[in-house]
Structure 1
């Protein structure tokens, strides 16, 4: 090897070393470290895509408030900065989908998420749903529920502080307060679906137009080059260790109607859908009466054909046709009545589910009004609102 060739190779090696030194771990692959117990764990993401370069954990990326259930059917709001681990458990919860994982094969195939531009080409409407359990569920009417990427998931300092298990955690008890393995897998799986959704520059423009990706502090979109680096890092992480993401996100798009069917027959109380598409009783009756009317037209055509057949001499002597005509006539009389009765029972079932919270809320308001009307029984130290 001559002197010129050696000089060129040395310059290239020095350039690569300088690039690694200046960019740090930004373009490095996820590292796998061995804990004291001998278990190998995968470290979190290293790519920074937002404009802020702060290394300390900050709460600026958290939402203003968040909603969680303090008790069954009792939803309250709280400040996410007061208890960040509790907020992350609520924000990264899969809800009822976690209990239906073994049945989700019926709702969707095991494949990566379809790019956003292809969803737009198929005419699907992207509906913003800021719930992790509704992410990538699509309805029969052409709506695709997509959860935007929250800013705090791209805050490396916050995720390192709150999505890493403490030392000595075996990650074998997901219900333990100290274990954060499930939340970390959900977060990485969610970001992995976005790496598949936003795979080209066209998808990147669609995502920014729909405000699915967070923006920098000055309001400008994140850079396409930074997003490519993050997407490739997520892909490498999944290829090296497929268990790093939650099994829910191995099946990207799930059909909502089939998820509702699974929920009706596998959860208690039975016959309750996972996501109720109707929010008033008029739409409930309108949608069900539409198919009842179509069924009535079909039954009328069959009865007319049978009536014509009975007028012929050949079918008048056919005992089988006579029996079939008798059975279908009874079905035509009782079928619509039973179908309408089922629709009415469904409406009563929904009403029975909606009434207890309304009655409980009315009782609470009545007690508050009585306390206001009788100041002696009211609480003496009530804090006044300053405005």
Structure 2
């Protein structure tokens, strides 16, 4: 970012991106990689907590995964950290439907972990940022907090490289500020393996204080717009995707969570049995009414019974036909997709193998 001769930013320029928390107070090479800035030294419990806590990591790079994928190709994470971070914090799918997210949740803070437990939600761990804080039934997806997110030096080198990445990372940290508000929440997070092992309550409290000082947690103008919402309903997001992107996502939606056709039809057409049960009760009552005076001589009742019988027959036949057609469409779609994917992967692997052989020969 260019500056004027006096070193100050011009009117239309934005200030350079900075980590959303303060740097650790120590300056030696080992502690400069520490994940969380310490709490003030005036805290009487601070020294004892640091002595009894597990040692802080010496490098955020050591906590990164081994491999990642880009366009179906596998690469070592430490060979291309920028690509890994873009994939690890990617929120593109949710941002595409941001104007419709009001259907899936309210623009409120996510509830703390202990509150989630009180409401009966079971936490499911995920590595996808665009599944973080999505809920379905009594389950809640939560992405564990990586160690690199708490490293000041890592932020300066990688996460402050672009505004989009910076906003996504700030929003992800904000979600944990929502989730962990008390020692009880921290204890639950430890049991669920959501936090790095070295995080203690004094460290976390000091980190949140620093974060809130640097990021406006009410205006939310410094975080990705996905984090203007807390929890979101996965079922409604699936419906939005199937409707909004009908030609590409009608079958799989946002997250396709079925590995058997039986499960798919049970979850999506279980209500049909309830409807059929009501139809059966009404038809049975009408059958009794037809044989009992004075109802059996009532012309209006006779016409209503006739109309309802025809309606039930047509409804059942239409619904069964619809389910049959849907099964055929989904089966054909999955079969064609599987054959196409297999063919593309085979060609790509043969091409990569040939390129490697050519490089070996030329060397």
User: Residue in 1 aligned with 2:175?
Assistant: 193
Change (3 A) 1:382 1:303: farther
1:66 aligns with 2:71: no
Residue 94 of structure 1, CA deviation: 1.1
Which of 209, 223, 243 is 1:245 aligned to? 223
How far apart, in 1, do the equivalents of 2:178 and 2:310 lie? 55
1:271 and 2:243 correspond: no
1:292 to 272, 275, 279: 272
Deviation, structure 1 residue 90: 1.2
**C-alpha contact (below 8 Å) 1:57/1:161 kept by paired residues:** no
Partner residue, 2:166: 184
Unaligned 5+ runs, structure 2: 1-6, 34-57
Q: Which residue of 1 aligns with 2:139?
A: 143
Deviates more, 1:148-157 or 1:78-87: 78-87
What secondary structure sits across from 1:159 in the alignment? helix
Whether the 8 Å CA contact 1:57–1:157 is kept in 2: the answer is no
Distance 1:345 1:150, change over 3 A: farther
2:61 counterpart SS class: coil
Instruction: Flag the 1:293–1:84 CA change in 2: closer, same or farther, 3 A.
Output: same
Alpha carbons 1:58, 1:158 under 8 Å: kept:
yes
Contact 1:65/1:80 (<8 A) preserved: yes
In the superposition, relative to structure 1, how do residues 366 and 267 fare at CA in structure 2: closer, same or farther (>3 Å)? closer
CA distance in 1, matches of 2:250, 2:283: 33
> CA deviation digits over 1:257-304, x for unaligned, max 9?
111111111114263421123221121234456433332221110101
User: What is residue 97 of structure 1 aligned with on the other side?
Assistant: 94
Task: Kindly tell me the number of residue pairs found equivalent between the two proteins.
Answer: 321
Greater relative contact order: 1 or 2 (C-alpha under 8 angstroms, separation 6 or more)? 2
Q: Check 1:257–1:366 CA distance in 2 against 1; reply closer, same or farther (3 A cut).
A: closer
TM-score between both structures, scaled by the size of structure 2? 0.78
Write out per-residue CA displacement over residues 139-189 of structure 1, whole angstroms, 9 at most, x where no aligned residue: 02x010001111222222122122225xxxxxxxxxxxxxx2122111111
Cα distance in 1 for residues equivalent to 2:105 and 2:96: 16
Structure 1 residue 157 corresponds to structure 2 residue 153 = yes
Q: Displacement, 1:195?
A: 0.5
Shift of 1:315: 3.3
